[in-house]
Every structure is written in structure tokens, then in C-alpha cells.
């Protein structure tokens, strides 16, 4: 009887000890979980602040107001200017005037986020690896331009010096940053060897109604130089 009683006491003690261990494990698990959640939250907040800080440190910043003349050129002609079907929600948009108006409302459209892709979200323009889609049509490398295979590229000028050769961008076009005032850009799909003309909206940059000090006075339109191999000649007229 003595041995049996002792064995039962040992078993009860073992069970009690096991329960204590489990309880300790549960007690340790809760603060560890809370600490992990706190660490993850701090990392997320830090990343968000870092992103916003980076966006705020480079142009365009919130408070800036830049403008870029643009055109979308397919084979041998410009498409009609885009509009804002859903309104201006980011601060990069157009008035349907062939001008990209760049005045970021926040970090989502400022600094390194001020790209053609960001603009396209407002105005119905999207970009692929070697293509762009607008008005329901996708234009990609190999597009048929009257029997000639075409390629997609972005042509960039200083709006005040279109006589210079444009910068030609053929990769990550959607990532092009709108970080300067008075850019002139043409998103084009053209046959090899063809350079599109600068955007016809360049004169509008000198007659904007949404900038401080703007008046209704009509500015003299600068002459726009057109590359010799362009398929059409564009001559600026006064707005």
C-alpha cells in the first residue's frame, strides 16, 4: 500500500509539473506574439515614411506645378488629346489640352512616383514591357503601320529647343519621370528610321490658364522644328 500511494503521488506531481510547464509556455507565447506584431508595425511605418520622404526630396514636390506638352503618335498622325474621365485624383492629369499638368497632391504622385504610369492611371493610359494601351487599343513592337513593322518608343525634347535631337527611350517607358517643367514628349509607334514630330501642343505651354499670373493674352507661338524624316510637317500656330 505504501509503495502504491507513493507511486500515485509521483504521478500527480508529474501531471502538475507538466501543467505548469504548459502554462508557462502559454504565458511566454503571448508577449512574444505581441512583440512580433509591434516590430512588424514599426517596420511598415518606417518603410512608408521612407517612401514618402524619398518622394518629397526630389522633384516634383508637393507644391510644385510643372507642365509637359505631349502627343501620342501612331504611324503617321497624332491621336486626339486624352481627357480626365474620372477627375484629377493624384495631381498628375490633363485638361484635354495636350498638356500634362503636374502638381502632386501627395507622395503617391510626387518625386519618383511622378511617372507616365502614374499619369496614365488618371487618363486611361497603361504600359506594358514593350507596349502601351490607350482608348482600348494596344500598340506594341511589331505593330503594322501600313505594311511596315513599327516599334514603340518615347521621344523627349526640351520644349524650348526642339531643334535638338530628342532623347529616345525604348524600355520602361511607363517609368519615365515627369521631373522637369516644360518637357515635350511624344509616345509613338513608328516604323524603324522614322522620328515623330514634337507635340503640336508646345505653344500651349506659353498660354496656360492654371499658373500664377496667367493672363488671357495670346503668346506668340514658337516655330517648332520638325525632323526631316518625319512623315508630316507640323507648323505651330498662335493659340
Regarding whether 80 and 44 lie in a shared domain, the answer is no
Residue 219 has pLDDT above 50, yes or no: no
What is the model's pLDDT at position 86? 82
Regarding whether 124 and 199 lie in a shared domain, the answer is yes
Residue 215 lies in a domain: no
Residue 49 has pLDDT above 90, yes or no: no
What is the model's pLDDT at position 31? 65
d(CA 209, CA 16): 82
Residue 223 has pLDDT above 50, yes or no: no
d(CA 198, CA 222): 12
**Residue 57 pLDDT level (bands cut at 50, 70, 90):** confident
Q: Is 80 helix (H, G, I), strand (E, B) or coil?
A: coil
Regarding whether 80 and 48 lie in a shared domain, the answer is no
**pLDDT, greater one: 1 or 204:** 204
Position of cell 523627349?
156
Q: End-to-end distance of the chain based on CA atoms, in angstroms?
A: 113
pTM: 0.68
Closest CA to 175 of 122, 205, 132: 132
Residue 92 has pLDDT above 90, yes or no: yes
User: Once rounded to an integer, what is the mean pLDDT over residues 224-238?
Assistant: 42
d(CA 228, CA 23): 84
Among 15-24, 59-68, 175-184, which is the least confidently predicted range? 15-24
Regarding whether 72 and 12 lie in a shared domain, the answer is no
Regarding whether 29 and 142 lie in a shared domain, the answer is no
Highest averaged pLDDT of the listed ranges 9-23, 82-96, 130-144, 225-239: 130-144
Structural domain harbouring 148: 66-206
**Domain total in the chain:** 2
Regarding whether 47 and 74 lie in a shared domain, the answer is no
Amino acid at each position: 500500500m505504501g509503495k502504491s500511494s507513493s507511486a500515485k503521488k509521483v504521478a500527480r506531481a508529474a501531471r502538475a509539473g507538466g501543467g505548469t510547464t504548459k502554462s508557462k509556455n502559454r504565458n511566454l507565447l503571448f508577449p512574444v506574439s505581441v512583440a512580433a506584431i509591434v516590430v512588424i508595425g514599426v517596420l511598415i511605418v518606417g518603410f512608408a515614411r521612407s517612401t514618402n520622404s524619398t518622394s518629397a526630396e526630389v522633384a516634383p514636390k508637393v507644391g510644385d506645378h510643372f507642365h509637359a506638352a505631349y502627343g501620342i503618335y501612331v504611324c503617321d498622325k497624332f491621336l486626339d488629346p486624352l481627357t480626365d474621365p474620372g477627375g484629377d485624383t493624384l495631381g498628375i492629369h490633363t485638361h484635354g489640352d495636350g498638356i500634362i499638368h503636374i502638381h502632386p497632391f501627395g507622395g503617391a504622385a510626387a518625386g519618383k512616383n511622378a511617372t507616365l504610369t502614374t499619369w496614365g492611371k488618371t487618363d486611361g493610359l497603361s504600359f506594358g514591357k514593350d507596349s502601351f494601351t490607350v482608348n482600348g487599343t494596344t500598340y506594341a513592337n511589331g505593330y503594322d503601320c501600313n505594311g511596315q513593322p513599327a516599334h514603340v518608343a518615347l521621344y523627349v525634347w526640351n520644349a524650348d529647343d526642339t531643334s535638338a535631337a530628342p532623347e529616345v527611350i525604348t524600355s520602361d517607358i511607363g517609368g519615365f519621370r515627369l521631373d522637369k517643367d516644360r518637357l515635350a514628349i511624344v509616345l509613338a509607334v513608328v516604323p524603324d528610321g522614322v522620328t515623330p514630330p514634337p507635340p503640336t501642343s508646345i505653344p500651349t505651354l506659353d498660354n496656360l490658364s492654371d499658373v500664377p499670373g496667367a493672363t488671357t493674352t495670346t503668346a506668340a507661338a514658337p516655330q517648332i522644328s520638325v525632323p526631316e524624316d518625319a512623315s508630316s510637317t507640323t507648323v505651330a500656330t498662335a493659340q
